Structure 1
Amino acid sequence: MTDAYDPGREGAQMSFARDMSYGDYLHLDAVLTAQHPLTDAHDEMLFIIQHQTSELWMKLALHELTAARELLCHDDFRPAFKMLTRVARIFDQLNSAWDVLRTMTPSDYTTFRESLGHSSGFQSHQYRLIEYALGNRNTNLMKVHEHRPDLHSMLRAELDRPSLYHVALDLLERRTGTAFPARTRRLRAPHQPVAEVERAWEQVYRDPRTHWDLYELAEKLVDLEDYFRRWRFNHVTTVERVIGFKRGSGGTSGVPYLRKMLEVELFPELWRVRGAL
């Protein structure tokens, strides 16, 4: 009989009485004890972890979007492209998470839904920051965060800086020599389609070799919105599968509200230009 494999014999560190361990570095004691179900329902743990991990991925998405936007402000395209690709893949990861939540049936959810009170993903400040950073700036939703002055201030600060799409349009305008109307610079309103912007993107798509950086930026943005739309769509179908057409716990109309969100376009001219080519 051979001895059990011992990685310590090959130099692996096995004692951490004085050194930082994996759990220390990741603060796993705090992370793994942050789940506090309010009922004895088996599926409440799934519900909590689903949303906590989603918030962690959204934190990373914001980290990447903030850095990419800053790089693009300085015409530093290549690292920004890598970060935008990463954000798209983060939403792919978030998308896959719905498959796990969909294993929870309507019967399972009813065992603990009342314990949620009026708490809802609708109130996620990080999700709102992502939308604002990308350009969907609906200020009507700010009121949800008024009870937390720190979060409300964070959202106001985001509204006072150009969104990722504002930065992209500044680059497009400058590099193609096109003049855009003033409404493309409104910081505190959702971006609406502008004919001059669509024509400028058309110029880029008709001559990619001349405008390669803008051409690749356009495709990175479309890729990001593509994954973002898929995430929204799977959110709708998951909610409909679990609660049907009941109102959301936060008071929204539930599925009808989420379906309305599917109509939102973050970068409308980049979708419309495809029909002009």
Structure 2
Amino acid sequence: MTPQDERCASTHRAARRWAAADQVPVESDGLALARSVNDHVRRTGKHFLPKRMLSRLSEIRHRSAADLPFLHAFLDCLLDRHEDRFWNRTYLSLPVLELLLGERNCAVSADRMSALLMADVVRFEAGAAGGSREGPGRGRPSAETVSTRLRHTLRFIAQGVGGSGSGSGSGSGSGPGAGDLPSRLDCGGGSRLEDLVDHLPRPPATDAWAWFDVTVQPVYVLHDEYFFIRVLQAHEMLFTAMAEHVKSAVSALREGYPEECAERIDDAVAMFERAAGLFRVVATMRAEHFSTFRHYTQGASAIQSEQYKRFESLCGVPQTSRLHSTAFTSVPAVRAEAQAPGHDTVTRAYLDLRHERGPGGAAWSRLDAALGRLESRHQRWKSAHRGLAARMLGDAHGSGYTDGVPYLTGVLQNRLFWQLPLPLPLPLPR
């Protein structure tokens, strides 16, 4: 029996013991089982898990909901295909990541989480370069491509650990000189890369945060799907942070402070600038490899991103045509929030305060400029997304059953603050 066959058999035995037990083992939080299953997933792809194993894990999931929330969330993601509910949230293991964000004893901001996710990309690539069994390593790109990928990734991390929004929680600090990470990268030697890993931000050293290691569940076995999942997760965390900044901006307007609102809007602008760096990371992936593993991701798409739509609908209620488009029908919970009578937005709060106080003043000029920056940055982000999709997808349809690149082209002119008398955004880059 090969080592891989033995590991597979071990996972089967663990699942069988759990499924056969009368109750969830009191002494276990399920992490050992999750690690064993996740190791199997990383070697075969979630799409190819044996049905017998999946059936046993489904039994365990139905018994673990109340007592073991992390195991339940992990299995909720793992079993999405088996239970015919595969979509963006479960493909990206967001239920597990959101539990980690909600940890009261070790709070970590969504912005900080994005840095931790991308730091894990560096660790993954370092492990693959050193011949570790972290992943299958199939189709690993050239050393030059990996170097470019790491450089962009390290810039993103450095912006996070050095910026005002890094908000680390207890135990989640980084090594000395973390803000200088890009300059530490030495393309010429693996030992230097291993040394650099010691300076990366680390997840908190708590029992709950040990679940961070099982939040990548690739559907296939190509090397690049690992970092692709982490990039999408980081994007979700940035939009979570943006939504919080915009909520704070609404509160500032309701309290009569347009200057403070402008500061919160500029915080969101900074998040968009960081998000642009993630597109540069994705651009290091070969289109043919992306096409191979996305064949197994049909049904899961970024169009289902709840946090992006939540951010958008907090800026202003989208026009009726957009609310009835696939963009919002794909996220019914957020669509319901946007249409609820009490839903507040920057646009509504802005118009109400301007009606109360009248136009004019330096505070309003500063706020208008901040809103214009956010509008412009959003447009540029969409344009970059469309350009990258055109390179990766070509004429192929999107994995969320959209038209792909034509869909992204059609939404370029959607505006966040379409009801406000703001200057038009800067022209879209060609």
TM-score, normalised to structure 2, is: 0.47
Amino acid at match of 2:324: N
Matched, 1:56 2:218: no
Please, which runs of 5 or more residues in structure 2 have no aligned partner? 1-169, 173-203
Distance, in Å, in 2 between the alignment partners of 1:28 and 1:94 is 24
- State, as a whole percentage, how many aligned pairs show the same letter: 23
Report which structure shows greater RCO (CA 8 Å, sep ≥6): 1
1:65–1:25 distance in 2 versus 1, CA, 3 Å? farther
Q: Over residues 218-267 of structure 1, what are the superposed CA-to-partner deviations in whole Å (9 max), with x where a residue is unaligned?
A: 00100111111111111000100101121111111111111111111223
Alignment of 1:159-198 (within 5 A): 160-176=342-358
1:152 deviates by 5.8
Distance, in Å, in 2 between the alignment partners of 1:75 and 1:35 is 44
Match of 1:218 in 2: 368
SS at match of 2:238: helix
1:155 deviates by 4.7
Matched, 1:112 2:293: yes
Match of 2:279 in 1: 98
Amino acid at match of 2:263: K
Amino acid at match of 1:77: P
Q: Does structure 1 retain, via aligned residues, the 8 Å contact 2:313–2:345? A: yes
SS at match of 2:232: helix
1:266–1:155 distance in 2 versus 1, CA, 3 Å? closer
1:42–1:79 distance in 2 versus 1, CA, 3 Å? same
Match of 2:306 in 1: 125
Which of 40, 45, 59 is matched with 2:221 structurally? 40
1:27–1:90 distance in 2 versus 1, CA, 3 Å? farther
Distance, in Å, in 2 between the alignment partners of 1:218 and 1:26 is 46
Matched, 1:259 2:409: yes
Amino acid at match of 1:124: S
Match of 2:383 in 1: 233
Matched, 1:77 2:263: no
Q: Does structure 2 retain, via aligned residues, the 8 Å contact 1:89–1:227? A: no
1:43 deviates by 1.0
Segment of structure 1 superposing worse, 226-235 or 29-38: 29-38
Match of 2:79 in 1: none
1:102 deviates by 0.9
Distance, in Å, in 2 between the alignment partners of 1:273 and 1:140 is 25
Q: Does structure 1 retain, via aligned residues, the 8 Å contact 2:309–2:334? A: no
1:272 deviates by 4.8
Distance, in Å, in 2 between the alignment partners of 1:88 and 1:75 is 22
TM-score, normalised to structure 1, is: 0.72
Amino acid at match of 2:323: T
Q: Over residues 102-153 of structure 1, what are the superposed CA-to-partner deviations in whole Å (9 max), with x where a residue is unaligned?
A: 111211212201110211000111111111111252321443234xxx6565
Over aligned residue pairs, what C-alpha RMSD do you find?
2.4
